[in-house]
Amino acid sequence: MAERRYKAFISYSHRDKRIANWLHGQLEQFKLPEGIDAPGLEDGLRPIFKDREELPASEDLGAALESALTNSDALIVLCSPHSAISPWIAKEIDLFKRVNGDARVFPAVVDGAPPYNMPPPLLVHYEDGTPTDQLAEPIAADLRPEEDGRKLGVQKLVAGLAGIGLDELVDRQARQRHRRLALIAAASFVGMVVAIGLALFALQQRNTAREERAEANGLIEYMLTDLREELEPVGRLDLLDSVGERAMEYYASQDVADLTAEELARRARAVQLVAEMHNLRGDNDRALPAFRQAARTTGELLERNPDDPDALFAHGQSLFWVGYIAWQRGEMDDARESLEGYARISTRLAAMDRSNLDWQMEESYALSNLGTLAHGEGEYEDALPLFERSVAIVERVAETEGRPAPRLVEWGEGVSWIATTQNRLADFKASEKSLEREVALYEEVLRSDPANSDALRPLMFAHQQQGWLLAVSGKEARARRVLDDAVQFADRLLEQDADHTWTMEMAVSTLATRAMLNWAAGREGEASADYDRAERLLEDLRERDPKNVKWNVDRLSTLELSRALSDRASRSSDQQLAMARKWIGELGDDQEGASWQLVAAHLIEGATLQRNGDRAAAAAAFARAIAIENEAAGLDVNMTALRAIAAQRLGQTDLARQLRKRLAEKGINPLIDKRIAI
């Protein structure tokens, strides 16, 4: 049986899998314009081989993979810092070049700067199947937004694969598109003339345009609702990227003043769905503009109908999402303005009809949002009653509805905020009871639906919180069981959808908590394995949204500083000092926003300087660590424990004793203080 031939083979690092999937789809779906002379490509660029995953450690690429490479007409290499150091990609390039030489190798930059993102064989010229001392000078398509961008990058690759000039391809595409639009316009004109006659042309043109617009809006809404519901459970929302982009282009061309109220409402729903899809995948650079466009649309709708409940509801949803993304990015003024606007609308809606349970829930969500803002600003005594009022509404609605699963999950998530706030207020016993109450709600859902991911995700987080609280309360065996369960939940959820950013974020927190417990128990290898996995997940999140403050500052500083206190404490002094001072600069010494991470950075700096024999500088660093006390943070267990260590190192034993006494009186023995390695 003849070997199957491929138009191209895509070589990529598993870290670049998302863009490899996207590029594979773009190339296989690309239709060459009419008039292009490309022998062998009359039916397009199918098939393209992409199905290489991580290979077992072996000197051999495997017979199937070698066959695919040698039976491919071209090789596309996704260039990134990850692929540059991959031995498998290097072997793939080497094998292909030994058979085909340099001419049919096409680099595509997805991250990093050439040549440092290119695997070594890509830069070597091959002659008669053998590498030479000469350098190859590959011309790469650059898919990064700041360079060629994805559209032009794909066009460059297609031009190379087809053996034609880029200008010819772009020009023919443009001419074909203009021809097609002209034909459509002509056909539409003739059809209208035949159907309605010249006398009614103007009126019918307007009506036809509205009907076509309604049909287009309906199709977009279908693809973003029904089709999304089918793709989301299997983790393939990437297939809707092109739909979202085209929808946004379509809506950007419209003037909202020309749209009817019904058209405005449909447009707002569709744009909202596009934005939510981007947010779910961690692409907030595209999500935020879409949410803002939705808010402008719903604002226009509300201005026309200021007392219409549907218009109020739609605008409230838009304001929530704009505020939520701003909150994710640390833009607190914008977040507060939008979320307070959402709260005013939600309270007004709830008062309009107390029998409307959906509107009661909007008031609950709004109260929870305001509680979250207060919590983030350290106003825990203000936050707690807001969360309690929110939960009381959810409980009442859930009981009225017969305790359906979605409502039980929302109820549990509200209780989670209560537990977190009680923790900050040093009411650890109340927090433990709240966590037990929260877990019971999720478990009620899972008893009838064990695969319910909406309950599994918050249950994972609840177990992480429980595990930490149990560990610092001296119940380490039970803490380990709870954290092991949480990691298992994370594994299940990530297997279902590897792109779900909330799952990834909670998995990072869970793994880091278990790592510290393992370290405190003397299980160094297990601790490092958990830390390493958390680090990989966090790197993925940070690549998705470099502006997300939680991922790029809060989570990253927690992970790096925790490791510097435990399994990476034996690194060189230069490495420890550089890391500590980086975070001192990033986090700043503003007392209002001071965190335990800043105390940790000063403590690590002091311990490293002390190890280097610079006692005076070490003492100054310890003193700076001691001086940090953020009253707005409530009783921060890690901050108090680390300040006690710094006081001990500085010889202030009385202060160290007082700080540890504060924790002991609450029944707390911090993990971070049990086996500190610096």
62-118 pLDDT per residue, tens: 677 788 888 899 999 999 888 887 778 888 899 999 988 888 899 999 988 787 788
145-168 pLDDT per residue, tens: 888 888 889 989 988 888 888 888
Pairing of strands 124-127, 130-135: antiparallel
Q: What is the DSSP letter of 554?
A: I
Section 210-215 average pLDDT = 48
Specify the pLDDT at position 177.
59
3-state secondary structure of 652: coil
Is residue 107 within 8 A of residue 140, CB to CB? The reply is yes
User: Higher model confidence: residue 397 or residue 308?
Assistant: 397
- Asked whether the predicted pLDDT for residue 356 surpasses 80, the reply is yes
pLDDT band at 190 (very low <50, low <70, confident <90, very high): very low
pLDDT band at 233 (very low <50, low <70, confident <90, very high): very low
Q: Is residue 277 part of a domain?
A: no
User: Higher model confidence: residue 675 or residue 437?
Assistant: 437
Section 218-229 average pLDDT = 45
Q: How many domains does the chain have?
A: 2
Q: Is residue 668 part of a domain?
A: yes
Q: Is residue 132 part of a domain?
A: yes
Pairing of strands 105-109, 141-142: parallel
Specify the pLDDT at position 163.
84
Distances (CA, A) of 599 to 379, 420, 561, 593, 647: 21, 21, 10, 12, 12
Supply the angle between the helices 405-424 and 428-448 in degrees, to the nearest 10.
160
Specify the pLDDT at position 265.
61
Q: Is residue 250 part of a domain?
A: no
39-54 pLDDT per residue, tens: 777 677 888 987 654 3
pLDDT band at 266 (very low <50, low <70, confident <90, very high): low
Q: In 3-state terms, the chain is what percent helix, strand and coil (to 5)?
A: 70, 5, 25
Mean pLDDT, the chain, integer = 81
CB atoms within 10 A of CB 610: 17
- Asked whether the predicted pLDDT for residue 198 surpasses 70, the reply is no
3-state secondary structure of 507: helix
pLDDT band at 370 (very low <50, low <70, confident <90, very high): very high
Specify the pLDDT at position 51.
61
Specify the pLDDT at position 569.
92
Query: In residues, how long is the chain?
Result: 678
Question: Any idea which of 228-232, 297-301, 337-341 has the lowest mean pLDDT?
Answer: 228-232
Q: Which of 119, 153, 171 is the last residue of a domain?
A: 171
- Asked whether the predicted pLDDT for residue 393 surpasses 60, the reply is yes
- Asked whether the predicted pLDDT for residue 410 surpasses 90, the reply is yes
Q: Is residue 501 part of a domain?
A: no
Specify the pLDDT at position 626.
92
Specify the pLDDT at position 389.
95
- Asked whether the predicted pLDDT for residue 322 surpasses 90, the reply is no
- Asked whether the predicted pLDDT for residue 182 surpasses 70, the reply is no
CA distance between the termini of the chain:
64
Specify the pLDDT at position 171.
77
CATH number at residue 624: 1.25.40
Specify the pLDDT at position 643.
93
Question: Any idea which of 159-173, 176-190, 653-667 has the lowest mean pLDDT?
Answer: 176-190
Is residue 381 within 8 A of residue 405, CB to CB? The reply is no
- Asked whether the predicted pLDDT for residue 510 surpasses 70, the reply is yes
Specify the pLDDT at position 9.
93
Give me the phi and psi of 533, to 5 degrees please. -65, -40
**Strand-pair partners of 49:** 9
Specify the pLDDT at position 289.
76
Is residue 3 within 8 A of residue 37, CB to CB? The reply is no
- Residue-number span of the structural domain to which 631 is assigned: 571-673
Q: Which of 171, 189, 212 is the last residue of a domain?
A: 171
3-state secondary structure of 567: coil
Q: Is residue 622 part of a domain?
A: yes
Specify the pLDDT at position 416.
95
CB atoms within 10 A of CB 641: 25
455-482 pLDDT per residue, tens: 999 999 999 999 999 999 989 999 999 9
DSSP string, 386-443: HHHHHHHHHHHHHHHHT--HHHHHHHHHHHHHHHHHHHHTT-HHHHHHHHHHHHHHHH
Q: Is residue 496 part of a domain?
A: no
Report CA Rg, the chain. Answer: 29
Q: Tell me the C-alpha distance between 630 and 554, whole Å.
A: 16
Is residue 290 within 8 A of residue 322, CB to CB? The reply is no
pLDDT > 90: percent of the chain: 41
Q: Which of 117, 151, 171 is the last residue of a domain?
A: 171
Is residue 80 within 8 A of residue 15, CB to CB? The reply is yes
111-124 pLDDT per residue, tens: 887 877 888 888 88
Q: Tell me the C-alpha distance between 508 and 554, whole Å.
A: 12
pLDDT band at 61 (very low <50, low <70, confident <90, very high): low
Question: Any idea which of 130-134, 194-198, 298-302 has the lowest mean pLDDT?
Answer: 194-198
Specify the pLDDT at position 317.
81
Section 266-277 average pLDDT = 65
Is residue 48 within 8 A of residue 7, CB to CB? The reply is yes
pLDDT band at 271 (very low <50, low <70, confident <90, very high): low
Specify the pLDDT at position 186.
43
Q: Is residue 609 part of a domain?
A: yes
Q: What angle do CA 431, 433, 438 make, to 5 degrees?
A: 90
pLDDT > 70: percent of the chain: 79
Question: Any idea which of 192-206, 296-310, 320-334, 385-399 has the lowest mean pLDDT?
Answer: 192-206
User: Higher model confidence: residue 634 or residue 439?
Assistant: 439
CATH number at residue 97: 3.40.50.10140
Q: Tell me the C-alpha distance between 339 and 319, whole Å.
A: 6
